Amino acid sequence: MSFSGFSDVEINQYEVPLRKKKSLGPKISSTSHKSVKHVPLKAEIEDEEDEEHSIDKLRFARNAVKQRKEKSNLEAEKLKEIQVELAKLDEIVGSDVKIIRKDIEGVTQHLSEARKRFERVEKEYVKAKLDLHRHEERKK
């Protein structure tokens, strides 16, 4: 079954065999002994025209279904191509995210170590400044 909702079998079952147009002219009956001309009645002519119109409508509908099926199949192929491309992009993005997370983790660890060194050096600086201030006080 295609995206049109109709299978090929379903579409083909509605095919109307092409018939030669019936002649609406006089008919000669072979059943009687005399040659009698048959003149079609207005109702017969209208019936024949209605039948031809129905056949034309059916052909048009069958053609429309066929075109929609072809269009649906093309769209399905495009969607498959897009899905393949999206899968590739998803894989690329996933690997990029993995790399970035690893980099962030490394930078975070480096920052933590730098912060600890800074705090240690800052304590040494404050201690040295206090020692300097005490020595200056003693000299006075």
What is the rounded CA–CA span in Å between residue 107 and residue 71? Answer: 53
pTM, full prediction: 0.47
- Burial (CB count within 10 angstroms: exposed 0-12, middle 13-18, buried 19+), residue 40: middle
* Interval 76-105 mean pLDDT: 98
Per-residue pLDDT tens for 30-53? 555 556 677 778 888 888 889 999
User: Binning pLDDT at 50, 70 and 90, where does residue 15 land?
Assistant: low
pLDDT digits (tens, 9 = 90+) for 105-129: 999 999 999 999 999 999 999 999 9
Please give the residue that has the higher pLDDT: either 99 or 39. 99
Give the domain ranges of the chain: 8-139
Is the pLDDT at 94 greater than 70? The verdict is: yes
Cβ neighbour number for residue 6 with a 10 Å cutoff: 19
Beta strands in the chain (DSSP E): 27-28, 37-38
